[in-house]
Structure 1
Amino acid sequence: MCRELVKRISPRWLSPFFCLIWLSGLGVIPLAAFAQYEYSVGKGQASIEPDQQILSVALAGYGAPREGRFSLEWVARASLDKADDAATVADKLYMLRGGSVWQLASNDLKGEAIALRQSANISLLAANGNRLLAVSADNELLEAVVAGKRELRWRRKGVLQQTPTSLSYWKGRFVMVDTAGMLWTAEDRRGQLTWEPLAACDDVIDIMGDRHHLYVLTAKQEILRYEGPEGWLRVAIHNGITYNHDMRFLMASGEGFWAMDGAGVLYQGQHASTHQLAVNALVIQQGKGKVAILGADVCGFDTSFVNTMKHDIEQAFGIPPDAVMVNASHTHFGPVTQNWPAWGPHCQKPDSAYLNTVVRGAIMDAVRNATKSLQPANLYVGKSEVEIGHNRNLPGTDLPYDKALDVIRVDYEHLNKDDIVFLAGCHPVFQNAGLEGVTISPNYPGVAREMLLHQSNVRSAMFLQGCGGDINPVDADHRLTAKKVASAVTDMLDRGTMQQIKGEIDFFLDTVAFNTHPWPEAKLREFRAANEGQEGNVGAEKNVRWADLMLQYIKNDDMPATMPVFIQTFNVGNWKLVGISRETTTEYSLGVKALWPDKLVTVAGYCNDVSSYLPTSRHIKAGIYEGYDSFFWYGQPNIFPENVYETIIESIQSKNR
């Protein structure tokens, strides 16, 4: 209250000393309120929601169900009469009925369909830009320019030798599927068309091309994307929740993706989402010292992507790579953003458009917004506890769990509201069932952020994931977890006991490298043989893929020699932020803070690289998921040595950053 009063009524032309005497004489505000603002701080945020030009993305975090979890949701938009085929041209819907083409008169999907005059009997429809494509009953390929008239003037492009069951257009080529399930393509040019085989696919119902990709809809109601020589990749399934009707036709338009079922109901594709995924950035500067802290609602990042982003940030904003910390919230309900070579094919690689356009652009926007908004501010840190998790796999009792809740408050000189950064260490994993299991969401961190925005003095809230590698929530409802976190943060802010951060800024990025000691080829082949032939067994299939990956490394003589662990340290005055890579388990947070018992130390996991778990000897000796099986899922050459924890803690202690 005092701070807000000073900001509202202190005359800027009065000297600080005069204001001090005047206000303190009235008993309005303590002397400490006029301390010099220590830093320049800026906050930025940008959405990483997949856009409407991406049909569907696989959700990360779980190897099951085997068929995958995908974001595509079909939403009914209109009930039309049954059609034999359909296409969209200039965002208008055209339907084929009994050899005739009908156009929906209104773009709002509420008008009546109008039969267009034409000279041909049509059996298939497709679209390209402002052209309507068709196959006639005489097996001729036709095209007509759509110009708003009620008559189609078909122009003959050629005679087809194959009998097509579906037609589309993709990257300057006509594409069709024949009765044997073979896809054929022909370059769109003048003169005779030359058809070449593209790929085979069983039980194709329809094909669809957009600006970037070619898709097929199968009789199993799977949507597959053509990946070139790698074949077909599943990108959506009939899951009975967000995709719960059998579709007959797929269509792409400038407004996104559409489908029609056999009864003539028109659906629009969208991503099932809570619409909360974001990247948050906090930039702190004092003199020439500047650091950027980023928190992203993703399951994890590869080092290569993070290093590329850090290079871009340095080029654009002059912040050195070692001064940029990228933290992943580890939500299990975000799109895949890293390579998972041992997972099912649908999760092995990120969607390129999503990662390199949406996420990459958002990271740059968040840092840009933060640097543009730099302004005088003081920083405060508070340390509390919140009991939201438990150690999920270690045997025995009295198991380690760091309950720490760290809160950083940014108090701006010229703003009456604060930015908040809060950190807790716990997996965002529940509930993985029903609608929530197939809905894009930041899970409890995102809900907690939203709750904190209802506090009168909070302008924005940013989450950092702590060392929660072996910690799962105690509550199945992630909203209850979020409520506990938000309540603990609010209590911290209300108590007014947070300690001010003062002093210079420095930063370091260190690496502790562990030799991989890969398995010999004979052991790999024996392991593969023991797991092959078990179709449908998710674990066995993962083991076969892992063995194949290792054998490929041996064949190419490029087996990774080390498994690096990155340790990043930001010293912002008397506050130390340590960011550790990989899925850092809870004892690392306890161990690092024990090195500086009298200092304000915050420890984040999941920083800069999430390429495996980071266990302790307890996980490794017990042979549990964090210490053994997870390394196969992550495609690592081997597990860490038993003394991995001691080695890392000793390295941090000896460097004393």
Structure 2
Amino acid sequence: MYRRIILLAGLFAMPWLAFTQYEYRVGKGQASIEPNRPILSVALAGYGAPREGRFSLEWKTCANLGKADDAAIVADRLYLLREGTIWQVDLNELEGGPKALKQAECISQITGSNNSLLALTADNELLEATRSRQDELHWRRRGMLEQTPKALSHWKDHWVLLDATGMLWTAKEGGGRLMWDTLVKCDDVIDVMADRENLYVLTAKQEILRYDGPDGWLRVAIRNGITYDQDMQLVMASGEGFWAMDRAGVLYKGQHNSTRQLAVNALLIKKGKDRVAILGADVCGFDASFVDALKQDIQRIFGIAPNAVMVNASHTHYAPVTQYWHTWGPHCQKPDSTYLYTVVKSGILDAMRQATETLQPANLYVGKSEVDIGHNRNLPGTDLPYDKALDVIRVDYENLDKDDIIFLAGCHPVFQNAGREGVTISPNYPGVAREMLLHHSKVRSAMFLQGCGGDINPVDADHRVTAKKVVSAVTDVLDRSQMQPIQGGITFYLDTVKFDSRPWPEDKIREFRTANEGKEGDVGAEKNVRWADLMLQYIENDEMPATMPVFVQTLNIGNWKLVGISRETTTEYGLGVKALWPDKLVTVAGYCNDVSSYLPTSRHIKAGVYEGYDSFFWYGQPNIFPENVYETIIESIKLKNR
């Protein structure tokens, strides 16, 4: 018996038979947040210029079908109107060309509605078509029009008529005489289009505008000479997307000009009954109201406390608008609700669901390095602050051969706002780096968190060069095998540091407005007028924000501390927070839970640079922060000692 015990003890002491104790259960999820087919076009966030906006729509050439007076799409068939005769072509077989259909009526306009082709005769009679086996159209009479429209469409069980003055009229379909009501006026309209939810017009300036209810029309696309360089005559919508024809009869299909890389990643870490979730999204920013509602949904669905969920925005300047920018051009003032809720929010919840369902034993490791990819872009002087920190967190699963990683750096995901890249949906260098890291033999997925890069821009104009530098540093950390293990329990906190908003007096606001009005085309002056109008509206409605809160979230996962600070956190905050715990593993992320302004230091405010002054007007804030904002926040974090 004694010899047997000695033998077993010897076997367990042998390294190749050692058993690893797994500290946590970890799950990972990822979902695309690319805009999808029901969305024609979205405005890109991040820049107030150019004044006319940057939009995602790109027209892809499909076929030259010859000139047409009007066109409509029903199911997968395109109908063309030529000199009173209707032609048909299958959208899936465009190379066959259009085929003339037999008909008894002389048609002046056509449009589509669900699965029906609708038409208007030369006598202003509305018809609905059915198609026989002999490719002959038969018509059912639907009513009469009292005027000849310039364009005709069908939207939400209503006829939509554009008259010669630019006024749009609507009449609910049904039996009896059509009763027409005015909807809204729009100048220079040449065609009208509707999908299941939205009404659009095409103008002579090659703008596509979406009807936005009481607010009138909202620009959603414009000829930019790059992705939209055609002189379109007709626009159409179908269940498969959006189409257009130019004056030469060339058919185009609309698509989003994108690198197809926008994503949201979720990492769920559990020990015992405690769980924390880290979310990273390829968006420019979120409003606190959206994040708060999102966290409530996560708590309801997954049972995770809101304070245990950290939401980080990568701050790419090439993602669709996902927050309110009240002082920007109208096209950027609010997000497309379909994109924000059915794509972004649904994507986040999907990633969370995947993470919840894939929880499995794992160990966590932290590695720290530096990467020199940025520079302090506006502060005057030399020896300017820049936190070069590159942090890497590795998830080593018990039953998987490859690892999930998180990497963090603090630098704006931007490049020159010009050319094709300026109108391309893209996660910028974080997305390129993620894709490159997947080629590493041990990496299953890579997730990016934005650090404190509010005042840091890349030193390289090419974001791919920035990505390569980041990947080289991350790979070096992974390959050195010197990462420190994370061990211990989980705690989480969300604290708020409130600053008095100190709004301007009303007379000062009015003087500011007067000094900036009447400067049409001056983007900065127009922004200042909109800011003044917003503040005056707050005063009139007694809605002026009383405080400007800064949120500080702390996730303690064993001996690793992840601190997430809201707003566009400038680089010194990362340095200052880590200095509070010099002997601990501390990672500091900015752009967490709310991106409602810059978070400057006294240096930015005293110098009057963008981060310390003008940016607050762009963000629609009541005022700038007080000069001691940095000291107040760092002291609060120190005293709470989370």
TM-score between the two structures when normalised by the length of structure 2: 0.98
Q: Deviations over 1:94-135 (max 9, x none)?
A: 000111000115632121311111111111110101211111
Verify: 1:144 aligned to 2:152, yes or no: no
**Corresponding residue for 2:169?**
184
Q: Deviations over 1:308-343 (max 9, x none)?
A: 110000011110000000000000000000000000
**Corresponding residue for 2:30?**
45
CA spacing shift, 1:95–1:650, aligned 2, 3 Å:
same
**Corresponding residue for 2:443?**
458
Cα deviation, residue 139, structure 1: 1.9
**Corresponding residue for 2:639?**
654
Contact 1:297 1:329 survives alignment (8 Å): yes
Selected match of 1:384 from 346, 362, 369: 369
How is 1:611-650 mapped onto 2 (pairs within 5 angstroms)?
611-650=596-635
**Corresponding residue for 1:484?**
469
Secondary structure of the structure 1 residue equivalent to 2:92: coil
One-letter amino acid matched to 1:476 = A
CA spacing shift, 1:127–1:407, aligned 2, 3 Å:
same
In the alignment, the residues of structure 2 paired with residue 569 and residue 639 of structure 1 have an alpha-carbon distance, to the nearest angstrom, of 25
**Corresponding residue for 2:3?**
none
Secondary structure of the structure 2 residue equivalent to 1:164: coil
**Corresponding residue for 2:492?**
507
**Corresponding residue for 2:157?**
172
Contact 1:412 1:418 survives alignment (8 Å): yes
Contact 1:130 1:146 survives alignment (8 Å): no
Selected match of 1:63 from 42, 48, 55: 48
**Corresponding residue for 2:88?**
103
In the alignment, the residues of structure 2 paired with residue 42 and residue 18 of structure 1 have an alpha-carbon distance, to the nearest angstrom, of 39
Verify: 1:283 aligned to 2:268, yes or no: yes
In the alignment, the residues of structure 1 paired with residue 183 and residue 7 of structure 2 have an alpha-carbon distance, to the nearest angstrom, of 81
Contact 2:132 2:138 survives alignment (8 Å): no
One-letter amino acid matched to 1:631 = F
Larger deviation, residues 139-148 vs 332-341: 139-148
Secondary structure of the structure 1 residue equivalent to 2:528: helix
Cα deviation, residue 149, structure 1: 5.2
Contact 1:105 1:114 survives alignment (8 Å): no
In the alignment, the residues of structure 2 paired with residue 289 and residue 272 of structure 1 have an alpha-carbon distance, to the nearest angstrom, of 42
Q: Deviations over 1:209-242 (max 9, x none)?
A: 1111000000000000001111100000000111
**Corresponding residue for 1:395?**
380
TM-score between the two structures when normalised by the length of structure 1: 0.95
**Corresponding residue for 1:14?**
none
**Corresponding residue for 2:138?**
153
Cα deviation, residue 259, structure 1: 0.5
CA spacing shift, 1:21–1:163, aligned 2, 3 Å:
farther
In the alignment, the residues of structure 2 paired with residue 125 and residue 238 of structure 1 have an alpha-carbon distance, to the nearest angstrom, of 26
In the alignment, the residues of structure 1 paired with residue 87 and residue 248 of structure 2 have an alpha-carbon distance, to the nearest angstrom, of 16
In the alignment, the residues of structure 2 paired with residue 649 and residue 409 of structure 1 have an alpha-carbon distance, to the nearest angstrom, of 28
In the alignment, the residues of structure 2 paired with residue 385 and residue 524 of structure 1 have an alpha-carbon distance, to the nearest angstrom, of 45
In the alignment, the residues of structure 1 paired with residue 478 and residue 202 of structure 2 have an alpha-carbon distance, to the nearest angstrom, of 53
One-letter amino acid matched to 1:380 = Y
In the alignment, the residues of structure 1 paired with residue 389 and residue 598 of structure 2 have an alpha-carbon distance, to the nearest angstrom, of 20
In the alignment, the residues of structure 2 paired with residue 148 and residue 544 of structure 1 have an alpha-carbon distance, to the nearest angstrom, of 62
**Corresponding residue for 1:82?**
67
Verify: 1:449 aligned to 2:444, yes or no: no
How is 1:10-409 mapped onto 2 (pairs within 5 angstroms)?
21-22=10-11, 25=14, 28=16, 34-105=19-90, 107-146=92-131, 150-409=135-394
Contact 1:206 1:249 survives alignment (8 Å): yes
Contact 1:390 1:472 survives alignment (8 Å): yes
Cα deviation, residue 296, structure 1: 0.2
Q: Deviations over 1:611-630 (max 9, x none)?
A: 00000000000001000000
**Corresponding residue for 2:540?**
555
Cα deviation, residue 246, structure 1: 0.9
**Which residues of structure 2 form unaligned runs of 5+?**
1-5
One-letter amino acid matched to 1:384 = S
In the alignment, the residues of structure 1 paired with residue 629 and residue 91 of structure 2 have an alpha-carbon distance, to the nearest angstrom, of 65
CA spacing shift, 1:501–1:358, aligned 2, 3 Å:
same
In the alignment, the residues of structure 1 paired with residue 193 and residue 78 of structure 2 have an alpha-carbon distance, to the nearest angstrom, of 15
What RMSD over aligned residues (CA atoms) do the two structures have, in Å? 1.3
CA spacing shift, 1:209–1:20, aligned 2, 3 Å:
farther
CA spacing shift, 1:160–1:416, aligned 2, 3 Å:
same
Secondary structure of the structure 2 residue equivalent to 1:235: strand
Runs of 4+ in 1 over 6 A off after TM superposition: 17-20
Cα deviation, residue 432, structure 1: 2.0
Contact 2:76 2:91 survives alignment (8 Å): no
Q: Deviations over 1:263-315 (max 9, x none)?
A: 11110000000000000000000001100000000000000100111000001
Percent of aligned pairs with the same amino acid: 75
**Which residues of structure 1 form unaligned runs of 5+?**
1-16
In the alignment, the residues of structure 2 paired with residue 591 and residue 479 of structure 1 have an alpha-carbon distance, to the nearest angstrom, of 30
In the alignment, the residues of structure 1 paired with residue 178 and residue 325 of structure 2 have an alpha-carbon distance, to the nearest angstrom, of 41
In the alignment, the residues of structure 1 paired with residue 73 and residue 311 of structure 2 have an alpha-carbon distance, to the nearest angstrom, of 42
Secondary structure of the structure 1 residue equivalent to 2:94: coil
Cα deviation, residue 158, structure 1: 2.2
Contact 1:130 1:145 survives alignment (8 Å): no
Q: How many residues align?
A: 637
In the alignment, the residues of structure 2 paired with residue 392 and residue 54 of structure 1 have an alpha-carbon distance, to the nearest angstrom, of 36
Contact 1:89 1:146 survives alignment (8 Å): no
**Corresponding residue for 1:576?**
561
One-letter amino acid matched to 1:353 = T
Cα deviation, residue 156, structure 1: 2.4
Contact 1:380 1:409 survives alignment (8 Å): yes
In the alignment, the residues of structure 2 paired with residue 52 and residue 526 of structure 1 have an alpha-carbon distance, to the nearest angstrom, of 46
Verify: 1:519 aligned to 2:504, yes or no: yes
Cα deviation, residue 159, structure 1: 2.2
Secondary structure of the structure 1 residue equivalent to 2:548: strand
Secondary structure of the structure 2 residue equivalent to 1:35: coil
Secondary structure of the structure 1 residue equivalent to 2:431: helix
Q: Deviations over 1:542-597 (max 9, x none)?
A: 00000000000000001000000000000000000000000000000000000000
CA spacing shift, 1:476–1:116, aligned 2, 3 Å:
same
In the alignment, the residues of structure 2 paired with residue 530 and residue 158 of structure 1 have an alpha-carbon distance, to the nearest angstrom, of 55
**Corresponding residue for 1:10?**
none
CA spacing shift, 1:24–1:205, aligned 2, 3 Å:
farther
**Corresponding residue for 1:7?**
none
In the alignment, the residues of structure 2 paired with residue 494 and residue 21 of structure 1 have an alpha-carbon distance, to the nearest angstrom, of 32
Contact 1:431 1:478 survives alignment (8 Å): no
Q: Deviations over 1:17-50 (max 9, x none)?
A: 999955864x658x5xx33100000110000000
**Corresponding residue for 2:419?**
434
Cα deviation, residue 176, structure 1: 1.1
Secondary structure of the structure 2 residue equivalent to 1:110: helix
In the alignment, the residues of structure 2 paired with residue 635 and residue 306 of structure 1 have an alpha-carbon distance, to the nearest angstrom, of 19
Q: Deviations over 1:405-442 (max 9, x none)?
A: 00000000001100000000000011322111101000
Cα deviation, residue 181, structure 1: 0.8
Selected match of 1:413 from 371, 393, 398: 398
Secondary structure of the structure 2 residue equivalent to 1:631: helix
In the alignment, the residues of structure 2 paired with residue 610 and residue 146 of structure 1 have an alpha-carbon distance, to the nearest angstrom, of 55
CA spacing shift, 1:325–1:343, aligned 2, 3 Å:
same
